[in-house]
Amino acid sequence: MDPFSQVIIDAVEKTKNAVVRIDVFKKDKDNKLRPAGSGSGFIFSSDGLIFTNSHVVDGAEKIMVSLLNENEIEGTLIGKDPDTDLAILKIYTDGYSVAKLGDARDLQIGQFVIAIGNPYGYQHTVTAGVVSALGRTLRTQSGRLVDNVIQSDAALNPGNSGGPMINTDGEVIGVNTAIIQGAQSLSFSVDINTAKAIASQLINDGKVFKAYLGLMLQEVEINPRIRQHHALTNKKGLFVTRIEQDSPASRSQLQEGDIIVSFNDKPTVTTHDLFRELSKKDIITTTNISVIRHTELLHFTVFPAQHAETPAPR
């Protein structure tokens, strides 16, 4: 067998037993539970916690989780966050494996990645591709903006949602979340660093606090001459591709085309750096921001606003 195929096989073998199928049921007009869709997920803790997508379990009145050994267990919703399209479930059973979580900061464009999921009900389907872009902002079908997204060309289909994106070491580096309808070879995953931060809040509080600016962003390299001229420590910054109407950013001096290099007086290299600052409850105040505009370094302020809270499940 060729070496590349063996690498893929070995990586899948490390993770596949932690991948689950999720079936959702809702009540019909006769008050009877009916199948209402399915998706994927993966177990990430020894006490049975599962990552999946918020849209997979939205409105569910019963959630069934199927393990690779065909055991089917009812899942409990711990919490969900539509803004990142993430949800946490819990199962009370044994005999399952736990996926190893990696570090999305180590990812590089061109790196091989592997998706595992249950597209169209075909359990534990494997696809592979490469990382096409990092630090994207994605608009979901619901109209929400999801930051810290990994773009790849690994084929995803309906049913893959919530499954793991892994590297060749078998470590989860993203939670598969979306495909672009009508586009060729464009699929997206929420990076695992963001997912871990969201999980911590959902597990502890059942909901997520975060502020927002209303920006669509892309991580970009900063011209070395500009870095040297302004004595910047950043090699990268966040390129503003779009500013949402009637958003905190639209009421500031930010412009599309700016490259954000600092937020809240801290260097901003990745979208996760910005997300981390916006997750602090004291950020709802006038906050310093620095950008490169053309070749100038500009400093001004922005007032982040709080997202509408998602109520904890009962």
pLDDT of residue 311: 40
**Is 185 in the active site?**
no
Q: What are phi and psi of 224, to 5 degrees?
A: -55, -35
pLDDT of residue 312: 38
Listed residue (58, 264, 227) closest to 144, CA to CA: 58
All domains in the chain, ordered by first residue: 3-90 (2.40.10.10), 101-205 (2.40.10.10), 211-306 (2.30.42.10)
Residue spans of alpha helices (H) in the chain: 3-15, 54-57, 192-205, 224-229, 271-278
Q: What are phi and psi of 212, to 5 degrees?
A: -140, 160
Catalytic residue, chosen from 38, 54, 55, 272, is 55
Give 116's strand partners. Answer: 126
**Is 205 in the active site?**
no
pLDDT of residue 84: 84
Q: Match 């586009």 to its residue by tokens.
A: 183
Q: How far apart are CA 276 and CA 194, in angstroms?
A: 8
- pTM (2 d.p.): 0.81
Provide the terminal-to-terminal Cα distance of the chain, rounded to the nearest Å. Answer: 51
pLDDT of residue 180: 60
Q: What are phi and psi of 154, to 5 degrees?
A: -70, 130
Per-residue confidence of the chain (314 residues) as pLDDT tens digits?
788 889 999 999 999 899 999 999 998 888 899 988 889 999 999 999 999 999 899 999 999 999 877 788 999 999 998 888 899 999 998 888 999 999 998 899 999 999 998 765 556 789 899 999 888 887 765 566 777 889 998 888 777 889 999 999 999 999 998 666 555 567 889 999 999 999 998 998 888 888 889 999 988 999 999 999 999 999 999 999 999 999 999 999 999 999 999 999 999 998 888 988 998 888 999 999 999 999 999 999 999 998 654 343 33
User: How is residue 22 written in tokens?
Assistant: 């999720």
Q: What angle do CA 113, 50, 150 make, to 5 degrees?
A: 30
Q: How far apart are CA 56 and CA 63, in angstroms?
A: 10
pLDDT of residue 313: 39
User: How is residue 129 written in tokens?
Assistant: 């591709």
Catalytic residue, chosen from 38, 40, 161, 189, is 161
Q: DSSP for 238-279?
A: EEEEEE-TTSTGGGSS--TT-EEEEETTEE--SHHHHHHHHT
pLDDT of residue 183: 52
Sign of the torsion angle spanned by Cα atoms 198, 200, 24, 98:
positive
Looking at residue 11, what DSSP letter applies? H
* Helix, strand, coil abundance in the chain, percent, nearest 5: 20, 40, 40
User: How is residue 161 written in tokens?
Assistant: 């949602």
Q: How far apart are CA 12 and CA 21, in angstroms?
A: 16
pLDDT of residue 3: 85
Listed residue (62, 5, 6) closest to 34, CA to CA: 62
Sign of the torsion angle spanned by Cα atoms 74, 78, 81, 85:
negative
Catalytic residue, chosen from 83, 85, 147, 273, is 85
Listed residue (176, 181, 197, 190) closest to 145, CA to CA: 190
Side chain identity at residue 231, one-letter code: A
**Is 85 in the active site?**
yes
